[in-house]
Amino acid sequence: MGYQRFDQASTGDARHWQPPTVKEILVHIGLITLTLATCTMAGTAWAMKNPLEIANWSAGLSYAILAMSFLLAHEYGHYIAAMRHGISSSLPYLIPVPPTLMPFGTFGAVIRTRSPMMTRNELFDVGVSGPLAGFAACLIILIAGFMTLPSEDYLMSIHPEYAVTGIPTSGLTFDNTLLFELLRWLFADRAFVPPMNEIYHYPFLCVGWFGLFVTSLNMLPFGQLDGGHVLYALIGKRQRAIARFLWWTMFALAVLWLIGLVHTTLASVSDADASPWMLWLKHSIDPSIGSAVERFPWLFQLGDVWVFWLVMIRFVIKIDHPDVPSDEPLSRGRTILGWTAMVVLLLCFAPRAVYMAP
């Protein structure tokens, strides 16, 4: 999610906000309709029903409505902030994706600014408004979800076998976040809360988690992500040093994940089946790797989901934020709000995102 970088926007009629054209409105409505359909299909699949049968879509409708509420809150946060500053921009364009390609049914949304942002205050307002609006929507969704949790019988009705085997701890798992755990403690301390590998059966918890994850991704302090806009508005060109350090940290974690993958592969190969070079690796180098994996397992588990984002950040999103024509500092209120938004990143961040628990 986000908006097109201002240094690539058209400068024609630069400081005059323009209402959307009929064509833009039709495209906007069309994409909303398609995204509602793909999100409904995704919710139907999470409910363990065939999403290709329209008769089953009622099972995924609540998921879709919640997901769309979060997406539109985020994107209209950007749009309204741009409109207030007289910055001409497109309507939010949602990106529908079949759930076979993306289990949440959407890749988010984009907004294209047609006129440049000339000051750090403008950059900040447009950049921070989306994540904070989406974050507020997530809070409402999660609080409602925790306060209305059904009893354990609901999960047992979906998986009757759990009455015999117990609720498993393996399988597709949503990594926990500080805020998710805090809200659970505040609003569902005495209720049955499903483990993180079962929350996809609970639309409010699933969409709320998804919203927190998307918010944290957007608030990463890189180039054209919302967090990059906010951090540049806060500290100017010093954003680049922080972004580069963070990118290389992610790169190091990705390398450690690959090393852990090599260790797992070598451990699964018998000496009889191993080639000479694999045999050498297994007995000369892998023991040291295995010792490190046993002592610090979490270090070797954080990189898998970030390999894709490393490439995206380096070549598409970019690490450094482009310069803003006017370098005037932010107002005091914006500065406080900006650092608060960075705290939101920490509260929403899920280091492993979604992973397969053994």
301 or 187: which carries more pLDDT confidence?
187
Please tell me the pTM assigned to this model.
0.91
Q: Which helix (H) or strand (E) holds 337?
A: helix 332-348
pLDDT over 70, % of the chain: 96
Q: Residue 62: CB partners within 8 Å, gap ≥ 6?
A: 43, 203
Q: Are strands 106-111 and 2-3 parallel, antiparallel or unpaired?
A: parallel
Element (H, E) at 96: strand 93-96
Q: Which of 46-55, 189-198, 229-238, 264-273 has the lowest mean pLDDT?
A: 264-273
Q: What mean pLDDT value characterizes the chain?
A: 92
Beta-ladder partners of 172? 356
Q: How far is CA 200 from the centre of its chain?
A: 16
**Whether residue 83 has pLDDT greater than 90:** yes
Q: For residues 173 and 354, what is the distance between their CA atoms, to the nearest angstrom?
A: 6
| Residue appearing with tokens 């967090």 | 227
pLDDT of 2: 55
78's tokens:
């950007």
Residues sharing a CB contact under 8 Å with residue 194, sequence separation 6 or more, in sequence order: 155, 167, 201, 202, 205
pLDDT single digits (tens) 240-279: 999 999 999 999 999 999 999 988 888 888 888 888 888 8
Per-residue confidence (pLDDT) for residue 212, from 0 to 100: 98
53-66 residue pLDDT tens: 999 999 999 999 99
More confident residue, 268 or 196: 196
> Within a 10 A sphere around the Cβ of 3, how many other Cβ atoms?
26
Residue 24 sits at the vertex; the CA angle it makes with 10 and 226, to the nearest 5 degrees, is 55
pLDDT of 1 reads 58
Q: What is the mean pLDDT of residues 304-314?
A: 89
Helix (H, G, I), strand (E, B) or coil at 130: helix
Residue 278 vs residues 260, 261, 271: alpha-carbon distances, Å: 15, 14, 9
Contact 302, 352 (CB under 8 A): yes
What is the distance between the alpha carbons of residues 328 and 324, in angstroms, rounded to a whole number?
10
pLDDT greater than 50 at residue 12: no
Q: What is the mean pLDDT of residues 182-192?
A: 95
Rounded CA separation 267/276 (Å) = 15
- The token pair at 329 is 């500092």
Q: Which residues neighbour 143 within 8 Å (Cβ) at sequence distance 6 or greater? A: 183, 187
130: nearest Cα among 215, 235, 24, 5: 215
What residue type is assigned to position 173 of the chain?
T
- The structural domains of the chain, with segments of one domain joined by +, span 1-117
Checking if the pLDDT of 221 tops 60, the result is yes
Please say if the pLDDT value at position 288 is more than 60: yes
